[in-house]
Amino acid sequence: MHNLIHDLALLVAKGEFLMRNSDCQSIPKRVHHLSFVSASASRNDFSSLLSDLRRVRTILFSINDENTSESFFTSCISKSQFLRVLDLDDSTIEVLPREIGNLKHMRYLDLSRYCQIKKLPNSICELQSLQTLILRGCLKLEELPKDIRYLVSLRMFVVTTKQKSLQESGIACLSSLRSLIISHCWNLEYLFEHIGQLSGLRSLILVDCPSLISLPSAVKCLSSLETLILIDCENLNLNLNIEMEGEGSHHDRDNTRTHLQKLFVSGLKQLLDLPQWLLQGSTKTLQFLGIEDCPNFMALQGSLKDLEALETLLISACRKLSSLPEDMHHLTTLKTLSIKECPALCERCKPLTGEDWSKIARIPRIMLDDELIKSSDN
């Protein structure tokens, strides 16, 4: 953050926001947002300062110190009964106290890189007002709490776990969920079959799950899904073995397919082409398509021409992709085409001399290996 913006934020929040360090001798009753930024501020001898935290709505506990007192943290929790936001990003606390279940007004809980924790108390599932739960980077977390399905207000869930499967996790019961991010789950082989029950899910992001074998077939039924991002899932096979045609009426099929606006795949070694199920429901909605670092990707199929809303196409480090579809000229809404680290394809797309230049010459903005070849400003 720029220093001026930082100073302005402090000015606006003056009286309600306090950064707690070793120089602070008290916590004024007007304070609503409290940040512990000094290791010494978390020692037991400061616990007497926490006499009244009923007005505190936010606690940022960003202390990376092995001497941090767990009793101090538990005291903060027990005395902050109206807490809305608790951020423990990169804290070294190893145990989350069961008292956290008493924070009935909690909306946001961030345990990012909370690397020492192995198990979450099941009382966390009593936070029925919780809207955001971030467990990113919890590399030692052995499993999710068994009653996580009771987080009925949860809208954003970011999870890292050592589990091989999320089948029994209860995530499919989170009917309010809008964004699901699963990252650094190195043992994860399967998600959960009833993912189609997440009828309001708009964003599904899978990052660095190298053991993931496939997506559940019901993923095609996520009719509210707008963003699908798959990164570094090297064993993931996107072929769902689904025969889309013949599944009920045309109207029914159209209403049970994804209607993506953004699709980005990167680091998928198994990907040879884009499966039909990814595109069939998104012909009128897909605006961004990115394919990166997929060493075996060989073809952009002819159905690409049906993407009547596509504005941006990015292709990077797909060395086996050697040509563009013949009907690229049908992509009348395409405004930006970027191709890099694809030697054969870049050669074919060179202005005037390239064999594929005629297919893309009408696109307003074209970049080859980060060199601007054509700009809409010219």
DSSP 8-class letter at 214: B
The pLDDT tens digits of the residues spanning 96-138 come to 888 899 999 999 999 887 667 889 999 999 999 999 999 998 8
Show the domains of the chain with their CATH numbers: 257-377 (3.80.10)
pTM over the 0.85 mark: yes
What average pLDDT does this structure show over 60-81? 68
Q: Minimum mean pLDDT among 181-190, 247-256, 332-341, 363-372: which range?
A: 247-256
CA distances from 136 to 116, 159, 169, 183, 232 (A): 13, 5, 17, 7, 16
Q: What is the pLDDT of residue 80?
A: 78
With bands split at pLDDT 50, 70 and 90, how would you rate the model's confidence at 239? confident
Provide the mean pLDDT of the chain. Answer: 84
Q: What is the pLDDT of residue 269?
A: 94
With bands split at pLDDT 50, 70 and 90, how would you rate the model's confidence at 74? confident
Residue 87 clears pLDDT 60, i.e. is over it = yes
Residue 244 clears pLDDT 50, i.e. is over it = no
Residue matched to tokens 């199920």? 277
Within 13 A of 320's CA, how many CA atoms are on the CB side?
A: 13
Residue 215 clears pLDDT 70, i.e. is over it = yes
The pLDDT tens digits of the residues spanning 289-317 come to 999 999 999 999 767 888 999 999 999 99
Burial category of 375 from C-beta neighbours within 10 Å (exposed 0-12, middle 13-18, buried 19 and up): exposed
